[in-house]
Structure 1
Amino acid sequence: MVKERSLDGNMGKGQQGQSSAQVSKKNTYTWDEVKEHSSKTDKWVVIENGVYDVSKWVTRHPGGFKVLSHYAGEDATDAFVAFHPDKELVTKYLKPLCIGSLEKDNKPKSSIVTDMRNLRSKVEQLNLLKPNLWFYAAHLGHILALDVLGWFVMWYFGTGWLPYLTSAFLLLVVQGQSGWFQHDLGHLSVFKKSSWNHALHGFILGGMKGSSAHWWNYRHFQHHAKPNIIMKDPDIRMEYIFMLGEKQPVQWAKKKKGFMPYDHQQSYFFFILPPLLLPLYFHYEYTSHILRKKVWIDVFWMVFFFTKLFVTFGPLLGVSGAFFFYLFVRFMESHWFVWVTQMNHIPMKIDYDDKKEWLPMQLQATCNVDPSFFNDWFTGHLNYQIEHHLFPTMPRHNFHKIVPDVKALCRKHGLPYQTKTLFCAFADIVRSLKRSGEIWHDAYYHT
């Protein structure tokens, strides 16, 4: 049985795996002993009071081996709770990995940890992790409708510049909104059963976007596990093109590494990242990923997507014309994707891992953008980035309901809760790049 959480922050209903009572008869370990097991081939993690040897399990972990590796030798309780909505299912996998319990620590738990876990209990009690299927049905419906309409416009009105651009705009919306929808599915936010989420995730990301769900999971959960942490968050691994934050520029400048004029990165950003990330780099990354990992289901969905593209638009534009049309849509989507996904993170603190608790770690790396009907739709509710990072499996239509509680928790502990306008958030990307470039320049030429 899993215990109810009491006000002192103990294990909550439907949350942590085994209780300390279940593992008390086994070996006990000190924190110093746990921390010793954080090497490439030897990894232990702590979940609640249980100590788990995940050294061999990491290669089988559905979220990828790096997510678990990032927490080797650490307390992974809050990350475990945040990422796994079906605790009963994952507990079955945890049981054989349990090697003992953590030695009792007489020090009281951090009040930040206790209060955050109590807030998590409140979220569960208010059913804020329960999705509204009508919301997602409407969202999927408008994606599929616009996809058909995008083809119909060109089929009915011809391939002149006006129907061409109209069709491209409609398919741009399809691709952008499919991107936000697959994000919900990847976080297991749409259906109660994880398998349903995974199945539809594969179709949307592969069949509607020509990408890879396996690649997305592998990459994205690292970002959530350790956001804006140097060497652990793949979303900030841009050092050969961009310097980010305040520490990385100094480190690279002192070692005379890199080859770009980073003090001008705020200018060349417009010509590299927004236009080229999706049509160029991501194509290379996810294609090489699925072939290297032999993810044949994702290969199937990619083949399905491009077959559909050439069957529908090939007769209208020719094979090469259909492919160019696809790249044109992807080029426009790339701008949309980059500005929305980077506005919440690049301007925030980027640092090495100092093993902060879940709440302050997520807050230092994220900020929100003002809510509105357009902003919510345009960003796929990623304008609620703080709430999303604290509760990654929460359906996005519920983010606004927990905002007052998150703000109150931040005020209690003196933690910043940043909210910006959409255009201010966009501008802060450029401003932060300029600031990081100046730091690099000063360190490179004056040290």
Structure 2
Amino acid sequence: MALQERKGAPDPDPSSSSPSQLFTWDEIKLRTGRGQERWLVIERKVYDISRFHKRHPGGSRVISHYAGQDATDPFTAFHVDKTLVRKHMKSLLIGELAPNQPSFEHNKNKLLVEDFRELRTNADKLGLFKPRPLFFLLMLLHILLLDAAGCFLLWYFGTSLPSFLIATMLLTIAQSQSGWLQHDLGHLSVFSNPKWNHIFHEYVMCHLKGVSTTWWSFHHSQHHAKPNCFMKDPDIDIHPTIFSLGKPLSSELGLQKKKYMPYNYQHKYFFITLPFITVPMFKAYSLYFMVHRKLWRELACSMTYFVRFFIVFGPIFGTKGVFGYLLLINVLESIIFTWITQMNHIPMYIDHDKNMDWFSTQLQATCNVNQSFFNDWVTGHLNFQIEHHLFPTMPRHNFWKVAPLVKSMCAKHGIDYQSKPLFAGFADVVHSLKDSGETWLKAYNNG
């Protein structure tokens, strides 16, 4: 069916569609899922994911977030073996953009999109997507050493205050570093073969941390696809139940006269809420997720984390005390995790999805923390949050190499590239919450 014949005509059965069909952006952006249909564009090809999205290996939501939009750059960013993926995409192909249609719906950023794709190509030619397994082996060994040292202190020196504090610190750091390593594996950036990434991801995430790899992948991929986009990034789902995030959304919430919490005080109650509950809440929901989805292998592997913890620390703390110690380790890890992950995002722009290009989307939602040996280590190289979001499958040991190229591109296009000291990043979390809370209060009182 030709392009002009489609207008005003009923939609054809996708199974009978021909790849020679031509579509406009006006047609495509209507297929966002509200009417059951979901279409997206990759390299000017139009794909119908209306049925496929539920079978998508990365989860239904992450691919659906690009329904009605161009998904070329996220497709490139997330998929390592693109040749294999394209074979499975053939059955979803229903046509392509008409010749008079721009490759990207908002074509004003055409030069920016082209420059970014060239940057990625150059990074690939420089070998920046090739992992060094030895680097990650050393990361794993130092995690196991920290964990063993913490256990040894409590077994050998008992629960005196000095040994308890040092051991708890070591065990908490081990859990935190395990979190960064599983993050690397989840992004397929440790091994060239995705299969080995999946195998070791399950070992680190399930056995060393007691959390589902499938749940994490579904959750985290959405964050990368649409960071700081309300209703699409699960990391900001706390808006508006607990916090009011970002000035646009805070103003909107105030004008609607909604007050689930006293948001003008959120910069104060943040200290006793999110940092204390994030990891325990994730682990509790992860267990429910594995049972609900019948992920029995992941559940069995995750149970070894809890069994190992109780076997090691049960004789030291007793049956009741071991529950308390497990909670303590998780709360302490939660504090580290929350501050480190949120300092790169909460101070940045938060709003509804504006369907921006990949580069602009990531730069407006992320910022960096200055490089140093300590900052690199304690954050798992997530101080290079900009580079990580632009190139999620790039091994973290190469972020510092690609950073100058990203800075140069930002300078060329007049885009702000933010990098700050570590404690300034922590302070900005509080400042941004305060500003958002004041914005909400002003709109609430004056709306």
Q: Do Structure 1 and Structure 2 share a fold, with TM-score over 0.5? A: yes
Tell me, yes or no, if structure 1 residue 88 matches structure 2 residue 83. Answer: yes
Shift of 1:92: 2.0
Amino acid at match of 1:261: P
CA distance in 2, matches of 1:156, 1:256: 59
Contact residue 369 and residue 420 of structure 2 kept, 8 A? yes
1:214-233 superposed matches below 5 A: 214-233=214-233
Amino acid at match of 1:344: N
Corresponding residue number in structure 2 for 1:181? 181
Amino acid at match of 1:277: T
Corresponding residue number in structure 1 for 2:250? 249
Corresponding residue number in structure 2 for 1:32? 26
Corresponding residue number in structure 1 for 2:96? 101
CA RMSD of aligned residues (A): 1.5
Corresponding residue number in structure 1 for 2:406? 406
Contact residue 240 and residue 259 of structure 1 kept, 8 A? yes
Amino acid at match of 1:167: A
CA distance in 2, matches of 1:250, 1:327: 37
CA distance in 2, matches of 1:34, 1:422: 43
CA distance in 2, matches of 1:326, 1:255: 42
Which secondary structure state, in structure 2, belongs to the residue aligned with residue 81 of structure 1?
helix
Which secondary structure state, in structure 2, belongs to the residue aligned with residue 318 of structure 1?
helix
Corresponding residue number in structure 2 for 1:78? 73
Contact residue 24 and residue 101 of structure 2 kept, 8 A? no
1:24-173 superposed matches below 5 A: 26-40=20-34, 41-105=36-100, 110-173=110-173
Corresponding residue number in structure 2 for 1:395? 395
Shift of 1:286: 1.7
Cα deviation code 1:24-82 (max 9, x no counterpart)? 96322222222222124211111102111111111111211111111001110000000
Tell me, yes or no, if structure 1 residue 285 matches structure 2 residue 279. Answer: no
Contact residue 78 and residue 392 of structure 2 kept, 8 A? yes
Contact residue 129 and residue 394 of structure 2 kept, 8 A? yes
Shift of 1:146: 1.5
Amino acid at match of 1:257: K
CA 1:405 to 1:283, structure 2 compared with 1: closer, same or farther past 3 Å?
same
Corresponding residue number in structure 2 for 1:273? 274
Contact residue 223 and residue 234 of structure 1 kept, 8 A? yes
Tell me, yes or no, if structure 1 residue 346 matches structure 2 residue 340. Answer: no
> Percent same amino acid at aligned positions?
50
CA distance in 2, matches of 1:328, 1:413: 47
Which secondary structure state, in structure 2, belongs to the residue aligned with residue 257 of structure 1?
coil
Cα deviation code 1:338-384 (max 9, x no counterpart)? 11000000000001111111111110000011000000001000000
CA distance in 2, matches of 1:259, 1:114: 44
Cα deviation code 1:69-101 (max 9, x no counterpart)? 110011100000000111122112212211222
Moved more, 251-260 or 409-418: 251-260
Corresponding residue number in structure 1 for 2:421? 421
Which secondary structure state, in structure 2, belongs to the residue aligned with residue 356 of structure 1?
coil
Shift of 1:303: 1.0
CA distance in 2, matches of 1:166, 1:92: 53
Moved more, 201-210 or 366-375: 201-210
CA 1:230 to 1:245, structure 2 compared with 1: closer, same or farther past 3 Å?
same
CA distance in 2, matches of 1:408, 1:173: 35
Calculate the TM-score normalised by the size of structure 2.
0.92
4+ residue runs of structure 1 moved beyond 6 angstroms?
Answer: none
1:183-202 superposed matches below 5 A: 183-202=183-202
Which secondary structure state, in structure 2, belongs to the residue aligned with residue 100 of structure 1?
strand
Amino acid at match of 2:385: Q
Shift of 1:208: 0.4
Corresponding residue number in structure 2 for 1:7? none
Shift of 1:290: 2.0
CA distance in 1, matches of 2:426, 2:86: 42
CA distance in 2, matches of 1:359, 1:260: 34
Amino acid at match of 1:82: A
Q: Which residues of structure 2 form unaligned runs of 5+? A: 1-16
Corresponding residue number in structure 1 for 2:10? none
Which secondary structure state, in structure 2, belongs to the residue aligned with residue 189 of structure 1?
coil
Moved more, 221-230 or 151-160: 151-160
Q: Which residues of structure 1 form unaligned runs of 5+? A: 1-22
Count residues with an aligned counterpart: 424
Cα deviation code 1:11-34 (max 9, x no counterpart)? xxxxxxxxxxxx996322222222
Shift of 1:107: 5.1
Contact residue 178 and residue 208 of structure 2 kept, 8 A? yes
Contact residue 128 and residue 395 of structure 1 kept, 8 A? yes
Contact residue 19 and residue 94 of structure 2 kept, 8 A? no
Shift of 1:105: 3.1
Which secondary structure state, in structure 2, belongs to the residue aligned with residue 26 of structure 1?
coil
CA distance in 2, matches of 1:438, 1:194: 46
Contact residue 24 and residue 101 of structure 1 kept, 8 A? no
Amino acid at match of 1:64: G
CA 1:112 to 1:318, structure 2 compared with 1: closer, same or farther past 3 Å?
same
